Amino acid sequence: MILKDAFTAIVNLYNNNVDAEVLWAEINTTYSHKKRYYHNLQHLENMYVELLACKNLIADWDTVVLSLVYHDIVYKATAKDNEEKSADIAVKRLTEINYPKEKTQLCKQQILATKSHELSNDNDTNLFTDADLAILGSDWESYVLYSKQVRKEYAIYPGFLYNPGRKKVLEHFLAMDSIFKTAVFKDKFESAALLNIEKEIALLF
C-alpha cells in the first residue's frame, strides 16, 4: 500500500517512541470496518494519488498526508461531529509522535475543513479538501458507484429521510461559487462534478 509507506516514513521521521506499525494497524482496522462502503482505505488511496500528482504545489506535504490519513478515522452516519472527533484523534496521535505543535494544529484545521469544504486562506488545505471531493468529478459509472456506496453507509435511513438530506448536501455544492478551490482540481473535475451532481439530484425523486 503506497499510502502506508508514506505514513510510516513520516511517523518514523518525527517519532522515537511509538511504533508506526501500531498506528497504521489502528488506521487499517478503523477504515476496514464492514459498514464503511465508501469512507474506507480505498478512498484514502484515491485521495493520495490525486495529491501526489500535485505534490509540487503543496508546501507541507507531511501534514497533508497525516490529515488525509486521519480525516475520516471517525465516521458514523448518524453523527454530526465526525470531523471534530477525527481531528481530536489526529492531535492525540501526532502529539504522541512528537510532531511539531504548529503542524499538528494545521492538521487539525485541515480535517475540520472537510466539514464544509469552504475556501480556505491556506493553499494546502484547499488542495486537500479538493482531493477529498475528486470523486464528484469522476466518470459517471464511478460516480454512480460512489453514490450507491454512500447510500449503503446511510442504510439506517429510509428513502423518504435519506433523499432530502442527500439532496441538501448536493445542493450545498451547487450553491458554491466553485466546488473545487484550486485551479488544478477545478480544471480537471469541475465541469463533470456539476453534471454528475445534477444527474444524481434528478434521480433522488
Q: What is the pLDDT of residues 29-54, one digit of tens each?
A: 999 999 999 999 999 999 999 999 99
Q: Are residues 38 and 82 in the same domain?
A: yes
Q: Are residues 104 and 150 in the same domain?
A: no
Q: Are residues 83 and 179 in the same domain?
A: no
- φ, ψ of residue 157 to 5 degrees: the values are -95, 130
**Res 205: pLDDT:** 75
By the 8 A CB rule, do 127 and 54 touch? Answer: yes
How many C-beta atoms surround the C-beta of residue 76 within 10 A?
11
How many C-beta atoms surround the C-beta of residue 110 within 10 A?
28
**Res 1: pLDDT:** 65
Q: Are residues 124 and 24 in the same domain?
A: yes
Q: How many domains does the chain have?
A: 2
**Res 17: pLDDT:** 85
Q: Are residues 96 and 145 in the same domain?
A: no
* Local confidence pLDDT in tens for the 205 residues of the chain: 699 999 999 999 998 789 999 999 999 999 999 999 999 999 999 999 999 999 999 999 999 999 999 999 999 999 999 999 999 999 999 999 999 999 999 999 999 999 999 999 999 999 999 999 999 999 999 999 999 999 999 999 999 999 999 999 999 999 999 999 999 999 999 999 999 999 999 999 7
Q: Are residues 193 and 144 in the same domain?
A: yes
Q: Are residues 42 and 100 in the same domain?
A: yes
Q: Which domain holds residue 47?
A: 2-132
Which residue among 132, 157, 177 closes a domain? 132
**Res 182: pLDDT:** 98
By the 8 A CB rule, do 83 and 114 touch? Answer: yes
Q: Are residues 127 and 152 in the same domain?
A: no
pTM, to two decimals: 0.96
Please give the Cα distance from 27 to 14 (Å, whole number).
Answer: 18
By the 8 A CB rule, do 55 and 61 touch? Answer: yes
Q: Are residues 18 and 108 in the same domain?
A: yes
